[in-house]
Amino acid sequence: MGVWIVLTSGLLVILVVAPRSVLSKPVNFLARVVDANSTEPVYRASILLQVSGGFKEYSTDSLGQFSFSMVPRPEGTTGLFKIDAVGYEHYELNVTLRRDQQSLPDFKLPGHSPATTSSDGLAQQIAQRKAALLAVPAEFTIKYSAFIAAPNCGVVKLLSPQVATQNLAILNWRYPRPYFEFLSKNQEYGYGTYHLRTVI
């Protein structure tokens, strides 16, 4: 811990500066996703957190909670939270992540209007949710745009076994494995023979 004494305009100012070893330690953040109307927890909501340098995926537990660790900058790090859940509208929010605020305010998801809760509307929501899970982040499509533009080339996102397992009802997969079959461009394990498998 560093202490600096500064004399300015006749005033004595004492500055306390945290050592670099403290500022470099990861911080454990805890957040919760709830229904905007009832404040009930939203189970199995999918969260994509984008910060400078990359992104990570999380899923809420039965209490609507999820946690993550990162090293925020001293002045705070801005994170973009993109949240999807069945029966709710897509939700995005920028949050400044600070070392002294490890419990984040609740993320309140707005529900769909009654007109979109029919069986057709629910099927559409599930399809949109699946597409969101498998969508390649824009930063990668931009980064590899030259590669993607070539014939028979592309970028695919493989889900980790944990994320796939938590979203099996949405994905409608038999096996929660990171997999891609090139001929049919299918990510469900068990189809075809020419495939790419990897462990995440």
**Structural domains of the chain, ranges and CATH numbers in brackets:** 21-134 (2.60.40.1120), 138-197 (no CATH)
Residue 32 confidence (pLDDT): 96
Residue 200 confidence (pLDDT): 39
Which amino acid, residue 104? L
Q: Are 86 and 125 in contact (CB under 8 A)?
A: yes
Residue 167 confidence (pLDDT): 77
Q: What is the pLDDT of residues 137-169, one digit of tens each?
A: 767 777 777 777 777 777 777 877 777 777 777
**Dihedral (CA of 69, 104, 95, 125) sign:** positive
Residue 131 confidence (pLDDT): 76
Q: Cα–Cα distances in Å, from 97 out to 26, 55, 193?
A: 12, 14, 45
DSSP 122-171: HHHHHHHHHHHHHPPPHHHHHHTHHHHHSTT----PPPPHHHHHHTHHHH
Q: Which residues of the chain have pLDDT under 50?
A: 5, 115-116, 193-200
Q: Report the alpha-carbon angle 96-67-170, nearest 5.
A: 110
**For 95-101, which contacts have Cβ atoms below 8 Å and span 24 or more sequence positions?**
97/27, 97/29, 97/51, 97/70, 97/72, 98/72, 99/23, 99/27, 99/72, 99/74
Which tokens sit at 179? 């997999």
Count Cα atoms within 13 angstroms, Cβ side, for 168: 10
Q: Are 88 and 110 in contact (CB under 8 A)?
A: yes
CA Rg value for the chain: 22
Residue 15 confidence (pLDDT): 52
